[in-house]
Amino acid sequence: MTQPPERNPHHHNEFPHRASSAGRNEPPTPGSNNSLHFKSSELKDLVNVPSRIVPAKPLSSGLLTVVPLRSNGRLKKRKFDTKSGAKSGKGLRKTDVPYRGCIKMGTREIDKRRVVIQELDSHGRVPVLHAENDSLFHVLFVEGDQLLGAKQNRVCNSTVLLAPKSTSKIPVSCVEEGRWQHVSTEFSSSKYHASPSLRRRMVATKEESRKRSNGRDAHSTNQGAVWDEVSQLAALASVNSSTKAMEDVFQHARTDHHNERPLICPKGINGWIVVIDDQIKSLDLFGSPKLCQQAWPRMIRSAQIEARLQEYQHDSQRNPTTKSKRSKGKDKQHSKIHFSGVPQGIKEFLRELQQSHREIVPQVAAGLEQRLSNQRFQGSYLTLQNRLVHLGVTI
C-alpha cells in the first residue's frame, strides 16, 4: 500500500493571503500591503456578535449537558426566488441573499451530489481539497465536519461558505494517518463530527499559525497535533484501527453504546453550548434554526461519545472493573441533569463572548470571517452581508 506522508506538523501554506487588519474598527485599505482582497460589498466595519443570545433549559445525558440557545442577527425569513437565475444558471440574485433558504448544509449537499469534493489533483495534497458547488445556493461546511474517502479521511479546518456555482480550495486536516491511496474519486459525508477536544486543538493550532505568519496563514492546523488527538481518542475508546481512522473510533464507540439515550434538538433554537463534566467546551450558533437542526445530530453525537468515554475513564480510575459493568447497562444511573436552570457561568461566558476582541481574517470562500479571542476562548464568526451564518467558539 502506498504510504501516507510522513508526520509534518506544519504543512506548506496553501492559502497565502496577505495579513489581516489589526482588529481596529475600520476595514483594510484597498491596495495597501495588508489588504485582504475582499469584494467591494464586504469592505466594511467589523460585524458585531449577536447582542441577544438567550439560553434555554439544558438537556443532559451522562457527563454531557447541552444548553440550547436562541439569538438575534439570524438570516431573514423569505422563500427562495428562482425566477431570475435558476434557468440561466447564474445563481442567486443579490436581493435573495442572505435569506434562510439561500444557505444549505454542506454534508447534505454532498449526499445529494450538488457539491463535489475531491483531492486537489491525482497526487493529492494533505492540507487542501478541491470543492465544486454546482447548486444555486450558498453551501456551509462547519469547522470539524468530516469528509470520508479519496486518499484519506479529512476534517474541515475552518467554517467555509461556498458561493453558488463556484469552485474553491478548502483547508483540511487528515484524520486517517495510516492510509494514502484512493478508495473513491469523491468524498462522502460522515455521521460524525470532530470531537470537542480535537476541535479545540485545531482551533488553537490555527491561531498559532496565524500569529506565526503575521496573519497570512489563518487556516492551517498542526497536523501532528491532530493525529495525536485522534490517537488519544482511539486509546480512550480501546479501538485499534488499521488506518488510524477517527471514523473507526466513532463507529466502534457508537456501537458499544447503542443503548445511550439520544438528545433531540429542541424546536426553534439556532445554537447550543456543549458542557462535559461541568466544563464548557464549545458554543455554536447558526444563521437559522434549520441549519442548527441539521448540524445537531453529527455534532452532538460526537460530543456525546467523547463525554461517555471520559466518564468511563473516570470510572476506571476509581474502579478498574467499572467500565465493563457499565458498558452493558443503560444510561439510568447517569442521566441526571447537571443544572436545574441556566448556571451563572453560562451567562458570564455569553457576556464575555459579546465583548471579546474581534479581528478580520482572510475568508476561504464567501462571507466575512472574524476571529474572536480572549484569555478563556477562541472562535470564528462567519457572516454574509452582516447576517450570522455560523459562530463557533472553543474553550
pLDDT in tens, 35-59: 233 333 344 578 899 999 999 999 9
**Residue 298: burial class (beta carbons within 10 Å; 0-12, 13-18, 19+):** buried
Cα(99)–Cα(366) distance, integer angstroms: 15
What is the structure's pLDDT at 321?
55
Q: What is the dihedral of CA 212, 215, 218, 220, to 10 degrees?
A: -30
Please report, rounded to a whole number, the percentage of residues in the chain having pLDDT higher than 70: 73
Q: What does the radius of gyration of the chain's CA atoms come to, in whole angstroms?
A: 21
DSSP string, 211-234: HHTTTS--S--BHHHHHHHHHHHH
For the chain, what is the total number of helices (H) and then of strands (E)?
7, 18
Question: Starting from the edge strand earliest in sequence, which strands make up the sheet with 160-162, in order?
Answer: 103-105, 138-141, 160-162
The residue among 56 and 339 whose pLDDT is bigger is 56
Mean pLDDT of 115-144: 96
Specify the pTM.
Answer: 0.81
Instruction: Indicate the DSSP class of residue 176.
Output: B
CA dist., res. 239 & res. 290, Å (int): 34
β partners of residue 172? 156
User: In sequence order, what are the residues at sequence separation of 6 or more whose Cβ sits closer than 8 angstroms to the Cβ of residue 94?
Assistant: none
Please state whether the peptide bond connecting residue 289 to the residue before it is cis, i.e. omega within 30 degrees of 0: no
Whether the pLDDT of residue 25 is over 80: the answer is: no
Three-state DSSP state, 52: coil
d(C-alpha 384, C-alpha 161), whole Å? 9
* CA 313 to chain centroid: 26
Mean pLDDT of the 372-378 span: 89
Q: What angle do CA 247, 249, 250 make, to 5 degrees?
A: 65
Per-residue confidence (pLDDT) for residue 107, from 0 to 100: 96
DSSP-derived 3-state class of residue 117 = strand
Average pLDDT of the segment spanning 245-267: 82
Q: Please provide residue 284's backbone torsions phi and psi, each rounded to the nearest 5 degrees.
A: -135, 130
3-state secondary structure 281-316: EEEEEECCHHHHHHHHHHHHHHHHHHHHHHHHHHHH
The CA-based dihedral angle spanning residues 351, 354, 356, 360, taken in that order and rounded to the nearest 10 degrees: 170
Pairing relationship of beta strands 103-105 and 138-141 according to DSSP bridges: parallel
More confident residue, 2 or 303: 303
- Please give the Cα distance from 228 to 205 (Å, whole number): 13
- Identify whether the C-beta of residue 364 lies closer than 8 Å to the C-beta of residue 168: yes
pLDDT for 313 equals 76
Cβ atoms of residues 174 and 154 within 8 Å: yes
pLDDT at 257: 57
pLDDT in tens, 140-197: 999 999 999 999 999 999 999 999 999 999 999 999 999 999 999 999 999 999 999 9
Boundaries of every domain in the chain: 40-394
